[in-house]
Structure 1
Amino acid sequence: MLAKKLRYIFEQFKHKGEFNSFEELASGHINDTYIIKTKKKPYFVLQRINHGVFKNIPGLIANKVSVSLHIRKKMTHLSETELNRCVLSFLNTNDDTFYHKDIDGNYWNMMIYIDNSITFETVNNEEVAYEGGKLFGNFLNLTSDLDISKLIEVIPKFHDMSFRYSQFKSALQSTPKERLYRAKLYIDCVADLKEEMHILQNLKESRLIKLRTTHNDTKISNALFTKNNKGLCVIDTDTVMPGIIHYDFGDAIRTICNTAAEDETNLDLVEFNTTYYKAYTKGFLKHMKSSITLLELKYLPLAAKTMIFIMALRFLTDYLNGDVYYKTKYPEHNLDRAKNQFKLLQSLSQQLSTIQN
């Protein structure tokens, strides 16, 4: 049944492929993503975008396409084949749009699959951290002159700390007592960090730090690498919108410098790796050093702390709300994710002077 449905949707896009089979990619928290294997390569990636999470999907897809086209125009020295390996390439539908809306109201978009590439859920060597830094730094550099007024805010207040605290407060008022009891230690941590966690937002709102085109979901699994561990392509651009570089830097550090997966339940395995922090920062600044300001540079360490915290807060809030946002595999999954991030935050805080130096 699913194969028949995917075949039909696949045929709504302009391509020269013949549907052969499909394989589900299960790494994302939000969307449903499939590799469409055709009789001849290239293969394709067909994605159903979650309209429960994203309210303006045509605008979201317009953002993704605009960013890809902007980057591609700066890489005219590459062949079409090379471009399709280092920049996401979106396909038009037969109706000349970049998405198909099915009879159930679901939105689908399709890209050329980047073959012979790998991803990492966690980082296990300095080279991957450094290459990840170069990749995300270059993404910010290449999009630095993109007119942000042409981008929609895909998820309003996505990294707005006041908004996240407001959501958290609402969740506290409606959650069952049993969940409140299980999360009490972490609920107390949220209250203790409130003032520090608003510093970056205050700098943004005062316009001391400027808005740029940002990815907003720079976990290491959203970077493709060659099989030789060289950075290849930034993927999963659903959350591209105006933001500050600290969002992208901090979220990347959150995954790159965690010595375990973000839902690892053995917290003894969760530590903040300062060696990887140094390697990532070196790669990141390789492309950003000409455009980053001293004030932006000063607050990069706080960006790491803030983005770890905001993910801990979001996982905790979703747990208190009854797991309505993130996909979960078992009842305590979101609480385990939150515990993981709070442990990472504690490890970072213990090494903050080293990181700042």
Structure 2
Amino acid sequence: MVEKAEAGSELKQILAQFQLEGAVAAVTAHGSGHIHDTYHVQNTAAASPDYLLQRVNHHVFKNVPALMENIQLVTTHLRHKLGAVAGAEPSKEVLTLVPTNAGPWFYQDQEGNYWRMYLFLENTTSYDIVTSSRQAYEGGRAFGKFQALLADLPVERLHDTIPNFHHVVSRFNLFKRAVEADPVGRVKEVTPEIAFVQDRIEAMSTIYRLGQQGVLPLRVTHNDTKFNNVLLNPEGKAQCVIDLDTVMPGYVAYDFGDAIRTTVNTAPEDEADVSKIHVDLALFEGFARGFLEETGAALSEQEVASLVPGALLLPYIMGLRFLTDYIDGDHYYKIHFAGHNLQRARAQFQLVHQLEACQPQLEDIIEKVVQEVQAIPITAN
């Protein structure tokens, strides 16, 4: 972490590359993210904004210029759409990039590091864990609105910032190669988990196949719909969707499924005692209601039908990724103890089990919410 004392010498040159108002009072480490280094830049002038400075991890995101082009395209589109909505506040509801003095939306330093800057959104809060149906609803509303506003943005204009990110067939092929190679001799320990993956790959490939057949349209999707990627205002209402690095072409089921994966689980992602892992149906309904209230008019029947399969698919993919990394020798994910990736995989697979067990209830909830949303009169903004 970079403390205030270091900011003057280490970051002064970086800050000088951006078009800032006022003067810098202090720079402090900000947030709990594990990918980028993020700093809150406080302003001396009360009338000038604070800023959020980030060093982008170019080891994870190999093409930072393309990533920044995506973000500029998406935020410009969102701001334009919200500008036509009565009562909307685009400056608060959309991230605002700060240009460099040279013009681009990022700066590359002499060591090859990439930096970007946003306006800091004051009086907002994010949470790592969903604790109420109301919060789940606000998360659903935020990501649903994000989808709906971007529905008319041509997906071919966006770059794949992480190729094959939610591509289950590619993930399965990487898994198979790791099992065949067995580089650290762990395959014998994970026979039940390997069988779990193999037994479900055909069903888990359904969304991919429907997409390839053109039944499910490619859309501009967020692809990392954790609840902490929604900023809430002081009243607890969703204000802004953040962390746009993985915004790229995808299927709506990906965003719904990843949000459900991280919303409805009653235990942590790496829970060792899988008996504690259950599905909170009230949180599922809360998220589904908020999501469908915003997207209902934009989604096809096939897309609505893909939402519950998406809720099963995303924990399956995450479990598959954790298991692959464990078999491969723990090279990708940071681990905090021996067997951590295996524990994570088992927790995700247990969540899949629980979602499978209540799948009829999940489908009933979606059907009920769709009917209720369709009964809501449409009013002009």
Q: Same fold (TM over 0.5)?
A: yes
Contact kept, 8 Å, 1:162 with 1:198, in 2: the verdict is: yes
Whole-angstrom CA distance in 2 between matches of 1:32 and 1:332: 27
Cα displacement (A) at 1:181: 4.3
Whole-angstrom CA distance in 1 between matches of 2:123 and 2:211: 40
In the alignment, which residue of structure 2 is the partner of 1:238?
245
Residues 178, 228 of structure 1: alpha-carbon distance in 2 compared, 3 angstrom cutoff: farther
Q: Deviations over 1:254-283 (max 9, x none)?
A: 111112332333433322111111111111
In the alignment, which residue of structure 2 is the partner of 1:27?
32
Q: State the TM-score, normalized to the length of structure 2.
A: 0.87
Whole-angstrom CA distance in 2 between matches of 1:31 and 1:331: 25
1:39 counterpart = 2:39: no
Secondary structure of the residue aligned to 2:205 is: helix
Larger Cα-atom Rg:
2
Contact kept, 8 Å, 2:49 with 2:119, in 1: the verdict is: yes
In the alignment, which residue of structure 1 is the partner of 2:262?
255
Residues 28, 178 of structure 1: alpha-carbon distance in 2 compared, 3 angstrom cutoff: farther
Runs of 4+ in structure 1 off by over 6 angstroms are none
Contact kept, 8 Å, 2:38 with 2:54, in 1: the verdict is: yes
Contact kept, 8 Å, 2:325 with 2:333, in 1: the verdict is: yes
From 137, 149, 155, the equivalent of 1:142 is 149
Q: State the TM-score, normalized to the length of structure 1.
A: 0.93
Whole-angstrom CA distance in 2 between matches of 1:86 and 1:353: 36
In the alignment, which residue of structure 2 is the partner of 1:271?
278
Equivalences for residues 125-204 of structure 1 within 5 A: 125-177=132-184, 179-204=186-211
In the alignment, which residue of structure 1 is the partner of 2:14?
9
Cα displacement (A) at 1:182: 4.4
Whole-angstrom CA distance in 1 between matches of 2:296 and 2:202: 29
Higher mean alpha-carbon deviation, 287-296 vs 312-321, is at 312-321
In the alignment, which residue of structure 2 is the partner of 1:92?
99
Cα displacement (A) at 1:246: 0.6
In the alignment, which residue of structure 2 is the partner of 1:293?
300
Whole-angstrom CA distance in 2 between matches of 1:157 and 1:317: 15
Q: Deviations over 1:170-189 (max 9, x none)?
A: 22234444543444432221
Cα displacement (A) at 1:77: 6.0
In the alignment, which residue of structure 2 is the partner of 1:72?
79
In the alignment, which residue of structure 1 is the partner of 2:379?
none
Structure 2, gaps ≥5 residues long: 365-381
Whole-angstrom CA distance in 2 between matches of 1:196 and 1:244: 16
Contact kept, 8 Å, 2:254 with 2:314, in 1: the verdict is: yes
Cα displacement (A) at 1:120: 1.7
Contact kept, 8 Å, 2:37 with 2:55, in 1: the verdict is: yes
Whole-angstrom CA distance in 2 between matches of 1:334 and 1:12: 40
Q: Deviations over 1:61-120 (max 9, x none)?
A: 1101110110101222689x9433211111111110001111121111111121221112
Number of positions where the alignment pairs a residue of Structure 1 with one of Structure 2 = 357
Secondary structure of the residue aligned to 1:47 is: strand
From 300, 305, 312, the equivalent of 2:312 is 305
**Identity over the aligned pairs, expressed in percent?**
38
Contact kept, 8 Å, 1:217 with 1:251, in 2: the verdict is: yes
Structure 1, gaps ≥5 residues long: none
From 99, 119, 125, the equivalent of 1:112 is 119
Residue identity matched to 1:90 = L
Contact kept, 8 Å, 2:64 with 2:114, in 1: the verdict is: yes
1:315 counterpart = 2:325: no
Cα displacement (A) at 1:221: 1.3
CA-based RMSD of the aligned residues comes to 2.2
Whole-angstrom CA distance in 2 between matches of 1:183 and 1:227: 46
Residue identity matched to 2:322 = F
Contact kept, 8 Å, 1:29 with 1:326, in 2: the verdict is: no
Whole-angstrom CA distance in 1 between matches of 2:232 and 2:203: 35
Whole-angstrom CA distance in 1 between matches of 2:96 and 2:313: 32
Residue identity matched to 2:300 = T
Whole-angstrom CA distance in 1 between matches of 2:336 and 2:41: 25
Residues 268, 27 of structure 1: alpha-carbon distance in 2 compared, 3 angstrom cutoff: farther
Whole-angstrom CA distance in 2 between matches of 1:24 and 1:335: 31
Whole-angstrom CA distance in 1 between matches of 2:193 and 2:125: 35
